[in-house]
C-alpha cells in the first residue's frame, strides 16, 4: 500500500504555497513595523520545559504532546506551542540583560495530538509574538493591536476581539476555592470525568476547558474569574481597555475565556472570525508574568499571542480576501529542433540574470507541444527560436493574450526586457 502523510498533517503544494508566502511576507512587514525581531528555536525541546511552562494539568501536556525518549534516554517533546521555547531562549541567551522590552516573533510548526477536523491539525503553523520586560497596560494593548493589524490588513472583515482578565496568583487562590465549592457536588456524585476529578485538587481552573460535553455543560455555570480579581488586576484591566479604546479597537469582555495553558495571568484575549467552531478562533494570547520565574529566571513580565496560519487561510478564503497569486513565467522561449537548444540555453540564462522569469523546453517536446505547455503554465510572452532567428539575432516576441507580435533584438536585450517588464 502507498505511504500517505500521517493523519492531521498536510503537504503544502503549488499554487497554495503562494498564499503562504504572501501571508508570511505581510506578517513579517507588519511585525517589523511594530518593532519585533524574529527568533528561531528548535522543533523539539526537553519535555520538562512544557510540563513546567505550559503546565502539567493542561490538556496540551496531559493528552496532546508528541513525547518520546531519544537514543540517549532523554524525554523529548515536539513543541506544542512557541511561548515556552521563546521564554527558555530568553533566559538561556541572557536576552533579559539587553535593553527591554524584548520584542520577539516567530513562524513555527507546532505538534498536538488532537482529533483532526477543519482548522485543527496535528502539525500546524503558528505566527507568534512575545514581548518581555514590562507589565504596563499599554503593552497589552499594543500586542493586541499587532494581532488585529495583521488580521485586518490581510483582509479579514468580520473579526471579534474577546478579552478577559484572569488575575494574578493571589486572586486565583480565592477563585480556586469558589470553583471547588461549585464543582464539589459534581465530584461527589461522579458526574465530572476522571481527568477533571484529578484536576479538582491540583488546578480546578482547568476543569473549565475540558472538552467533554458533560463537564462543559457544568462548567458553563461556574463562577467567573473576572468577579474575583484583586484591585491591582482590576485597575490593570481597566487601563488596558482605555488603551484599546484610544486606538479605536472594539472588544467584548468575555468572562468565560480562561485559555488552555497554565502560564497566563491578567489579560487574556482571543480573536474570532466568521468561521464556525474551532476554526473560528484564529488567534489567542495573553499576559504571563510568572512564566520566566517558573523556568528559573528572575521575575520578568511577558505578554504575547499566536495565530494559526491554517485557520487564517481558511478565514481569508471565506472572506475572499486573498489576491490572485500566480508564479507564471514572464516569457517562454521555444526552440525549433535541436540546433537552437544551445542558443536558447544562453538566451534564457541572460534573461534570468536580468530578473526575467523565463522558461524553456526541458523535455524534448515538439514546437506544438512546447507552445501548448507555454499556454498551460500561463506565460505572458513567448518567442520561437529557429536557425534563422539564431543567425539574425532577432525574433518575434508574442503577447500570449493579445496575440500581438513585436520584432526584438536578441543581441541587445533592452527592448525585449522593457516590453516584458511593463
Ligand atoms: P493557543 O490558543 O493554544 O495559544 O494557539 C494559538 C492559535 O494556534 C489558535 O488560536 C489557533 O489559531 C492555532 N491552533 C491551535 N491549535 C491548533 C491546531 N491543532 N490546529 C490548527 N491550529 C491550531 C498558544 O499556542 C499560545 N502559545 C499563544 C501565546 C503566545 N500566548 C502568549 N504568547
One DSSP character per residue, 143-168 reads HHHHHHHHHHHHT--SEEEEEEE---
Q: Quick check: CB of 308 below 6 Å from ligand 1?
A: yes
pLDDT value for 359: 98
What spatial distance separates the first Cα and last Cα of the chain, rounded to whole Å? Answer: 50
Q: Which phi-psi region, left, alpha or beta, contains residue 346 (left: φ > 0; alpha: ψ -120 to 50)?
A: alpha
Torsion angle (degrees, nearest 10) of CA 150, 151, 156, 161: -140
Alpha-carbon distance values, 356 to 256, 329, 331, 353, 404 (Å): 55, 8, 8, 7, 20
DSSP conformation class of 227: G
Helices 137-154, 309-318: inter-axial angle, 10-degree rounding: 50
CA of residue 125 to ligand 1 center, whole Å: 9
Residue 49 CA: distances (Å) to CA of 260, 301, 379: 16, 18, 51
224 DSSP assignment:
P
Residue 403 CA to ligand 1 centre (angstroms)? 50
Q: What is the pLDDT of residue 299?
A: 96
Ligand 1 center–CA 309 separation, angstroms: 10
Set of cell numbers at residue 166? 484572569
User: How far is it, in rounded angstroms, from Cα 15 to Cα 228?
Assistant: 51
The pick from 101, 209, 306, 310 for probing ligand 1's pocket by mutation, whose C-beta has the most ligand atoms within 8 angstroms, reads 306
Residue nearest to atom 31 of ligand 1 (CA): 285
pLDDT of residue 316: 96
Residue 277: predicted pLDDT: 83
CATH 3.40.50.800, the chain: domain bounds: 331-421
Cβ of 302 below 6 Å from ligand 1:
no
For the chain, give the number of residues.
Answer: 422
Which residue's CA lies nearest to atom 13 of ligand 1? 308
Q: What is the pLDDT of residue 370?
A: 97
Q: Which atom of ligand 1 is nearest to the CA of 311?
A: 12
Establish how many alpha carbons lie within 13 A of residue 332's alpha carbon, considering only the half-sphere containing its beta carbon: 22
Ligand 1 centre and the CA of 393: distance in Å? 58
Residues of the chain with CATH 3.30.930.10: 16-168+229-318
| Residue 279: per-residue pLDDT | 83
Q: Which residue has the cell 517588464?
A: 421
- Is the CB of residue 281 below 6 angstroms from any atom belonging to ligand 1? yes
pLDDT of amino acid 90 = 98
Would the CB of 80 count as within 6 Å of ligand 1?
no
Taking CB atoms within 8 Å and a gap of at least 24, the contacts of 153-157 are 153/26, 153/30, 154/23, 154/26, 154/27, 154/312, 154/316, 154/321, 155/316, 155/319, 155/321, 155/322, 156/273, 156/282, 156/312, 156/315, 156/316, 156/319, 156/321, 157/319, 157/321
**The predicted structure's pLDDT at residue 379:** 97
Other Cβ atoms closer than 10 A to 418: 10
Average pLDDT of each block of 10 consecutive residues along the chain (422 residues)? 96 96 98 98 98 93 96 98 98 96 98 96 98 98 98 95 95 92 93 91 89 90 93 98 98 92 96 89 97 97 98 95 94 96 98 97 97 96 98 97 94 96 88
Domain 331-421, CATH homologous superfamily name and number: Anticodon-binding domain (3.40.50.800)
- The CATH number of domain 16-168+229-318, selected from 1.20.1730.10, 3.40.980.10, 3.40.50.300, 3.30.930.10: 3.30.930.10
Q: Is 121 in the pocket of ligand 1 (CB under 6 A)?
A: yes
User: pTM for this structure?
Assistant: 0.95
Amino acid at each position: 500500500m502507498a505511504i500517505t502523510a500521517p493523519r492531521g498533517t498536510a503537504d503544502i503544494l503549488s499554487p497554495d504555497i503562494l498564499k503562504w508566502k504572501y501571508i508570511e511576507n505581510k506578517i513579517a512587514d507588519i511585525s517589523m513595523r511594530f518593532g519585533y525581531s524574529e527568533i528561531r528555536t528548535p522543533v523539539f525541546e526537553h519535555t520538562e520545559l512544557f510540563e513546567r511552562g505550559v503546565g502539567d494539568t493542561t490538556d496540551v501536556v496531559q493528552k496532546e504532546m508528541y513525547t518520546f525518549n531519544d537514543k540517549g534516554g532523554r524525554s523529548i517533546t515536539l513543541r506544542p506551542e512557541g511561548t515556552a521555547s521563546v521564554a527558555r531562549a530568553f533566559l538561556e541567551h541572557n536576552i533579559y540583560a539587553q535593553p527591554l522590552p524584548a520584542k520577539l516573533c516567530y513562524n513555527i510548526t507546532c505538534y498536538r495530538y488532537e482529533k483532526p477536523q477543519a482548522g485543527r491539525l496535528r502539525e500546524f503553523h503558528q505566527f507568534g509574538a512575545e514581548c518581555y520586560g514590562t507589565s504596563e497596560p499599554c503593552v497589552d494593548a499594543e500586542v493586541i493591536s499587532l494581532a488585529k493589524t495583521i488580521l485586518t490588513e490581510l483582509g479579514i472583515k468580520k473579526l471579534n476581539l474577546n478579552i478577559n482578565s484572569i488575575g494574578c496568583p493571589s486572586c486565583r487562590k480565592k477563585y480556586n476555592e469558589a470553583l471547588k465549592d461549585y464543582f464539589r457536588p459534581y465530584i461527589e456524585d461522579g458526574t465530572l470525568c476522571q481527568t477533571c476529578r484529578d484536576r479538582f485538587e491540583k488546578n480546578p481552573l482547568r476543569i473549565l476547558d475540558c472538552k467533554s460535553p458533560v463537564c462543559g455543560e457544568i462548567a458553563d455555570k461556574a463562577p467567573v474569574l473576572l468577579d474575583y480579581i484583586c484591585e491591582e488586576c482590576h485597575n490593570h484591566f481597566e487601563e488596558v481597555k482605555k488603551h484599546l479604546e484610544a486606538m479605536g479597537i472594539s472588544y467584548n469582555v468575555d468572562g468565560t475565556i480562561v485559555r488552555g495553558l497554565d502560564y497566563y495571568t491578567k489579560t487574556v484575549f482571543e480573536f474570532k472570525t466568521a468561521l464556525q467552531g474551532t476554526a473560528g478562533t484564529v488567534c489567542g494570547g495573553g499576559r504571563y508574568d510568572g512564566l520566566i520565574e517558573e523556568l528559573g529566571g528572575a521575575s520578568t513580565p511577558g505578554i504575547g499571542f499566536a495565530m494559526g496560519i491554517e485557520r487564517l487561510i481558511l478565514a481569508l478564503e471565506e472572506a475572499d480576501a486573498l489576491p490572485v497569486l500566480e508564479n507564471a513565467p514572464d516569457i517562454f522561449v521555444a526552440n525549433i529542433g535541436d540546433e537552437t537548444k544551445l542558443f536558447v540555453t544562453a538566451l534564457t540564462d541572460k534573461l534570468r540574470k536580468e530578473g526575467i522569469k523565463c522558461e524553456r523546453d526541458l523535455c524534448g517536446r515538439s514546437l506544438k507541444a512546447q507552445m501548448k505547455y507555454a499556454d498551460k503554465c500561463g506565460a505572458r510572452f513567448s518567442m520561437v527560436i529557429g536557425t534563422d532567428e539564431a543567425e539574425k539575432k532577432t525574433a518575434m516576441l508574442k503577447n500570449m493574450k493579445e496575440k500581438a507580435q513585436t520584432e526584438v533584438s536578441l543581441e541587445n536585450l533592452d527592448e525585449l526586457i522593457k516590453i516584458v517588464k511593463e
